[in-house]
A and B are shown apart, each in its own frame.
Chain A
Amino acid sequence: AQSVTQPDIHITVSEGASLELRCNYSYGATPYLFWYVQSPGQGLQLLLKYFSGDTLVQGIKGFEAEFKRSQSSFNLRKPSVHWSDAAEYFCAVGPPTGGFKTIFGAGTRLFVKA
């Protein structure tokens, strides 16, 4: 079955510290992979996406993610977290043809402490 697992329901990080959010997926083939961020009461903003090629993907707001095929993982990282990064983060997968039915993980809530 196709699924996305974000093992951490919530994470607390000190401002200025590094961040890694985990994402594992189950899919029949290598899917398209996405990370979205959602601020309270808002829609989803795309941080970055992986379709093919270089497995280290750079995104907006200083985020990057690394695709590891052998581990079926697509973890999101940021070297130095800012208070404004506090939000909910969603990993998502889509079919390799880029079709419909994007599947989302349950999300990881990031708290940033001063």
Chain B
Amino acid sequence: ETGVTQSPTHLIKTRGQQVTLRCSSQSGHNTVSWYQQALGQGPQFIFQYYREEENGRGNFPPRFSGLQFPNYSSELNVNALELDDSALYLCASSQKAGGFTDTQYFGPGTRLTVL
């Protein structure tokens, strides 16, 4: 059983650019959540995808968008990057069934730096 993987590990972008981060969920999991963790803070929920549809969203602007694919892997896209977008982006996968979502398992994260 493979765990949650994320790519790339690190990324440097300039303000105004666009970025795509990728996540492969743990085997058997159908739900992916994305979190932003700014330096010195706890993770903040961005959104969740369940069976290729957005299933909930936190307080992030529309320039944060995502996709989930039939194999349950996921992408996080951020447009018009701002300096404050610099953070560790964490992906977490879980299994949702019957309206219940089991424990989330986190990937190692992608460190995004916006200059």
Q: Which residues of A contact B (CB under 8 A)?
A: 4, 34, 36, 41-46, 49, 90, 92, 97-107
Contact = CB atoms under 8 A, between A and B. Distances in A.
A104 B35 CA distance: 10
15 contacts: A4-B42, A34-B103, A41-B111, A43-B4, A43-B106, A44-B43, A44-B106, A90-B43, A92-B42, A100-B45, A100-B56, A101-B48, A103-B45, A107-B41, A107-B42
Output the residue of A34, A43, A46, A49 with the most chain B CB within 10 A: A43
Contacts of B44: 104
A50 B45 CA distance: 20
Interface residues of B, number: 28
B56 A101 contact: yes
A70 B111 CA distance: 39
Given A49-B103, A97-B100, A99-B101, A90 B58 contact: no
A101 B45 contact: yes
Given A100-B45, A100-B48, A102-B45, A42 B101 contact: no
B95 to A, nearest CB: 10
Contacts of A92: 42
B107 interface: yes
B66 interface: no
Contacts of A90: 42-43
Contacts of A49: 103
A43 B107 contact: yes
